[in-house]
Amino acid sequence: MWWKAETFARKKDNLVRRMALIRAIRGFFDAQSFWEVETPVLQTAPGMEPHLWAFETERLSPDRASRERLYLHTSPEFAMKKLLVAGAPEIYQIAHVFRNAEGSTLHSPEFSMLEWYRAESGYRQIMDDCVGLLRTCAEALKIDAYTYRGERADPFGAWEIISVCEAFETYAEFRLEDVLPQGEDAQAQTESTRLFSEKIREKGLHTAPDDRWDDLFFRLFAARVEPALGNVRPTILYDYPLSMAALARQNPEDPRFAERFEMYVCGMELANAFGELTDPYIQRARFEADMALKDKLYGYSWPVDEDFIDALAHGMPESAGIALGVDRLAMLATGAETIQDVQWCEDARGEPLLSRSTSPSHQPWTPNQISETPPRRAGNGG
């Protein structure tokens, strides 16, 4: 049992350092006059990611005569952006977030997410924040590097700031621009996917007839690029192909790409950032496309948060924001090898979530008992 003193003692030092880490995070943002905000966990839509699963619940009316389906949020993003619309300037939050059907050394169904947003700013400013935050936290914990499974990353030296295309060429010897879709029509998508599949097979990687372009991207990325990121020094990987924009705006200097970046430390994905999309019509179209894909893959989808779309239509300022996994940062700051080693408690049954989620007798439940497909990008890092 995790609550036995001798068991708890094994991670006590990690938890003491976690407390210091969270104090340092708050100090970093408070010193810049950010507002620390709190947003509701219960939402009408938990997020719009096709490969994430959410926890569902019901809200009863006071007379218990009617019921409304609600979800535990997978991120506080929608609510925090509504605060930007309302006039909040620079804001941050350390929130508990929930993602169903997750459990591994890096994933937990419940974890802590740090999100911050800057109104009237771009994603380059968020990159600067990342550098400053990791240096501040390292100084507070009196460490000279972040560590994970034998890798070290020094946050105090020059960081690797590299575009997605440059990373593919550097670490996979692959010109991603050669296989980017040359248009948005189905024929262009099909041709680029065919070419990508052909070239990825030349790299000795498996392909399948039903692979989408994004599937091929992440297969090559996971095999050749991601393991090289954030080693020796942290990496900021920026400008993802537009098809992976999510809630990021199109790059005005090169419309083939989106203003999105991810931060990696010791090969671990730690954060995901956007130059925020403010156009309600484009955002609705993306949401509907993502939910159509979710329904096609899993026979299940979530409603669009109409209040969020209305807020965008009312007018969200040009802004940028990011989500960072606090538990993963704690792992890097302590050298812990599993996310459970930096979390205070195990689940309500007193059992490690990892052991149940990977046990054949405890397979994750999915709506309509659909067979589980591992999420392609469903991390606790943001």
CATH number of the domain residue 289 falls in = 3.30.930.10
Q: Are residues 32 and 118 in the same domain?
A: yes
- How many C-beta neighbours within 10 Å does residue 228 have? 15
Residues 142 and 263 reside in one and the same domain: yes
> Cβ distance 219 to 205 under 8 Å?
yes
Same domain? 178 vs 209:
yes
Q: List own/partner pairs for 339-342 with CB under 8 A and 24 or more apart.
A: 339/104, 339/105, 339/106, 339/107, 339/108, 339/111, 339/380, 340/105, 340/108, 341/11, 341/14, 342/11, 342/14, 342/15, 342/18
The verdict on residue 381 lying in a domain is: no
Answer whether residue 60 is part of any domain. Answer: yes
Q: Is residue 11 part of a domain?
A: yes
The angle subtended at Cα 185 by Cα 182 and Cα 187, nearest 5°, is 80
32 and 91, same structural domain?
yes
The answer on 91 and 68 residing in a single domain is yes
- Render the burial of 269-301: b for 16+ CB within 10 Å, e for the rest: bbbbbbbbbbebeebbebbeebbeebeeebeeb
Give the end-to-end CA distance of the chain in Å, rounded to a whole number: 30
374 belongs to a structural domain: no
3-class secondary structure, 77: helix
Q: Which of 188, 216, 232 is the last residue of a domain?
A: 232
Domain identity same for 114 and 179: no
How far, in Å, CA of 177 to CA of 179, rounded?
Answer: 5
Residues spanned by the domain of 210:
162-232
Residues 50 and 94 in one domain: yes
- How many domains are contained in the chain? 2
Q: Do 309 and 324 have their domain in common?
A: yes
Which amino acid is it at 265?
V
Examine the domain organization and report whether 138 and 125 are in the same domain. Answer: yes
Give the pLDDT of the chain (382 residues) as one tens digit per residue: 888 999 899 999 999 999 999 999 999 999 999 999 999 999 999 999 999 999 999 999 999 999 999 999 999 999 999 999 999 999 999 999 999 998 899 999 999 999 999 999 999 999 999 999 999 999 999 999 999 999 999 999 999 999 999 999 999 999 999 999 876 667 878 899 999 999 999 999 999 999 999 999 999 999 999 999 999 999 999 999 998 998 999 999 999 999 999 999 999 999 999 999 999 999 999 999 999 999 999 998 999 999 999 999 999 999 999 999 999 999 999 999 999 999 999 876 555 555 443 333 333 333 333 333 333 333 455 4
Whole-structure pTM value: 0.90
